[in-house]
Structure 1
Amino acid sequence: MLYPIKFHPILKEKIWGGGKLKTILNKPTETENVGESWEISTVGDDISIVCNGEFTGKTLNDLIKEYKDKLLGKKVYKEFGNQFPLLIKFIDAKEDLSVQLHPDDELAKKRHNSFGKTEMWYVVQADPEAKLIVGFNKDTTKEEYEDFLEKGEITKLLNFESISKGDSYFIKAGRIHAIGGGSLIAEIQQTSDITYRVYDWDRKDSEGNERELHTDLALDALDYNADKTFKLKYSKDKNKINNLISGTYFTTSVIEIENSFERNYKDLDSFKILMCVEGSGTINTQEYSLPVSFGETVLIPAAIENVFIESTSQGIKLLEVYI
């Protein structure tokens, strides 16, 4: 019997990581520089392992091979086979991440035999001065970009965005970006770990080494246009599905629940992911009940057509993701 599934988080120490994944999202770590919690993954050797119910100890790959379209959905399984198509993360940036971008599907396939990476961010928590870098602040050219990069003045071309809890951004492949220090982010992305790092704030690791840059690879992958459509506008009605974005790679909505909410998935041919970004509650199916808390992520198999979500007295806010 398929049921709502939780996985052990895969925690990643980063030079820019902090302590919020532990102190705010209650992730099981004793170190103070954990930058990422991979919630659902089949990327490389980082394969999610189930931590609830009868599937405990099985990997996500095991479940996909056994249940196929019943887990993923018919159209998803037909397109992606045994590869889970999304990578789901929480990111804690104590310091600024590198300025970077990701190639699109065509370029990533050609260079790396990989999917490209289009992604989105939802701000779970932000310190008062926290910012993101999203795109250029004006249309530029390859030549101008190279000139500013060579002079160490690339930040003069970048668009800085002040952020608050609940803000959301769409980062298409090719768009230059960086998560700024003081940001706690939920990230939804294509299954890919291909990143072109172009500037790292002249930062050095504990051994005095600078991290590798991918200057040449980035040149043909960059979108040099100053497109301002990246910040997502959405309704904030309670007990309703508030769509953030519907696209080729994923559809994401915010569902803020007071008391209870029934969600019917009968007409949706896809798995569903529910990320708890505030509060707590219980996700119920006809045969299974699963508590979910702030910072936890749940995979709802495609075969489950209906869930009934109950909130605690403090309410619950979920990001709902599917293809």
Structure 2
Amino acid sequence: MVQPYPLQFKPEMKERVWGGRALENFGLELPEGAIGEGWMIGDHPNGTTKVVNGELAGLGLDVIRERYGREFFGTNGFSAKNGRFPLLIKLLDCNDDLSIQVHPTDDYDRLPEGELGKTEMWYILDAKPGAKIIYGLKDGIGRAELAAAIEEGRVMDALQEVPVEAGDAFYIPAGTVHALCAGVVVAEIQQNSDTTYRVFDYNRPGLDGNPRELHVEDSLNVTAYEGAGATRMKTDGLGANEWLSIASSPYFTVDKGVVRRPWQQATSPESFVILVVAEGTGKLGWTGGSLDVKAGECFLLPANLGGYELDGEMTVLRSVAP
């Protein structure tokens, strides 16, 4: 049996019409083009990341799941629907507005075979002055009102806009109409899904020069008109070596921690731990080794790792499968 250790992966970079080059600021290597998404930890047909460190280097997360899944992922660490790793971890560079979109729940009957619904959360890593997001419907907007707004080209009138700044956290359950807008860099923790229904895309061409497909019927079907339980919060003011719960769902819980001195932690047999370094630098230590870590890096700590230590001057996001 392999001794467990924190796994780091080579990101899968995705060109997007709304992307840019901001992920280079984390020291990440980007291919040519407008890079909108870095899939940092993924086990999906559209993007499976490979380990870059330690004795499992070169293996994809899918292979690790097949070989070591029970020990490494923990008793909660699998999607009940398709057996894959349950989460997908991304960094997003929103150089332009994303489409207005909504995601289905796991039980939507028109989901592609083997695909999950998509509940997600965002942590704003960086935001230009005046940056905003689209976050939910205005009061009183039901299916008929949303359908009419889409049909008449005035969908923005039906949506709430929220200003954002670095450190804001947003929980976005499936069924919440939403969009990131230009000028934000975001860490996204989500169900392991690549299903998005576009409500509106500003009538712009895609990377191929053609208009991007809209999914109006699916969008109207899956939108939670009474609200799906979306929440948002400011997360500043956190003391040294304290955790703050910033998102809680049936699929993941996410805490923010501010590391200022050595801080002892431990994994549990129930779940892996994912650490996203949101800012700063530090060390991640465990029995048998340590790593220098910095903003923009993401690590998968196996459930059977046991004790580990965070140290340095950094902000981290910690995600587990509940």
**Residue equivalent to 1:320:** 318
Answer whether contact 2:38 2:91 (CA < 8 A) is retained. Answer: yes
**Residue equivalent to 1:103:** 104
Give the aligned residue type for 1:277.
A
**Residue equivalent to 2:76:** 75
Cα separation, 2, equivalents of 1:284 and 1:193: 33
Gap change, CA 1:237 and 1:198, over 3 Å in 2: same
**Residue equivalent to 1:159:** 160
Answer whether contact 2:173 2:230 (CA < 8 A) is retained. Answer: no
Gap change, CA 1:113 and 1:61, over 3 Å in 2: closer
**Residue equivalent to 1:20:** 22
Answer whether contact 2:175 2:228 (CA < 8 A) is retained. Answer: no
Answer whether contact 1:73 1:302 (CA < 8 A) is retained. Answer: yes
Task: Identify which range, 139-148 or 183-192, moves more after superposition.
Answer: 139-148
**Residue equivalent to 2:243:** 241
Gap change, CA 1:80 and 1:302, over 3 Å in 2: farther
Gap change, CA 1:183 and 1:308, over 3 Å in 2: same
C-alpha displacement of 1:264: 2.5
Normalization by structure 2: what TM-score?
0.94
SS at match of 2:51: coil
Measured against aligned partners, the alpha-carbon deviations of 1:127-150 in whole angstroms (never above 9, x if no partner) come to 001111010121311111111111
Structure 2 residues without counterparts, runs of 5 or longer: none
C-alpha displacement of 1:108: 5.5
RMSD: 1.9
Give the aligned residue type for 1:303.
N
Mapping of residues 124-135 of structure 1, within 5 Å: 124-135=125-136
C-alpha displacement of 1:265: 2.8
Gap change, CA 1:3 and 1:80, over 3 Å in 2: farther
Cα separation, 2, equivalents of 1:109 and 1:98: 21
Cα separation, 2, equivalents of 1:78 and 1:133: 29
SS at match of 1:155: helix
Give the aligned residue type for 2:15.
E
SS at match of 1:232: strand
Cα separation, 1, equivalents of 2:217 and 2:170: 27
Give the aligned residue type for 1:272.
V
Task: Identify which range, 91-100 or 228-237, moves more after superposition.
Answer: 228-237
Mapping of residues 1-323 of structure 1, within 5 Å: 1-22=3-24, 24-77=25-78, 79=80, 82-107=83-108, 112-205=113-206, 208-225=209-226, 229-232=230-233, 234=235, 236-266=238-268, 269-311=270-312, 315-323=313-321
Gap change, CA 1:74 and 1:109, over 3 Å in 2: farther
Cα separation, 2, equivalents of 1:282 and 1:82: 32
Answer whether contact 2:49 2:60 (CA < 8 A) is retained. Answer: yes
C-alpha displacement of 1:79: 3.7
Gap change, CA 1:229 and 1:15, over 3 Å in 2: closer
Normalization by structure 1: what TM-score?
0.93
Give the fraction of aligned pairs with identical amino acids, expressed as a percent: 33
C-alpha displacement of 1:156: 0.6
Measured against aligned partners, the alpha-carbon deviations of 1:268-305 in whole angstroms (never above 9, x if no partner) come to 51000000110011111011211211101000000011
Task: Identify which range, 291-300 or 106-115, moves more after superposition.
Answer: 106-115
Cα separation, 1, equivalents of 2:208 and 2:61: 36
Measured against aligned partners, the alpha-carbon deviations of 1:71-113 in whole angstroms (never above 9, x if no partner) come to 1002334846751000000000000000000000100675544
SS at match of 1:5: coil
Cα separation, 2, equivalents of 1:77 and 1:9: 21
Cα separation, 2, equivalents of 1:244 and 1:208: 39
SS at match of 2:300: strand
Cα separation, 2, equivalents of 1:277 and 1:310: 14
C-alpha displacement of 1:231: 0.7
Cα separation, 2, equivalents of 1:243 and 1:74: 22
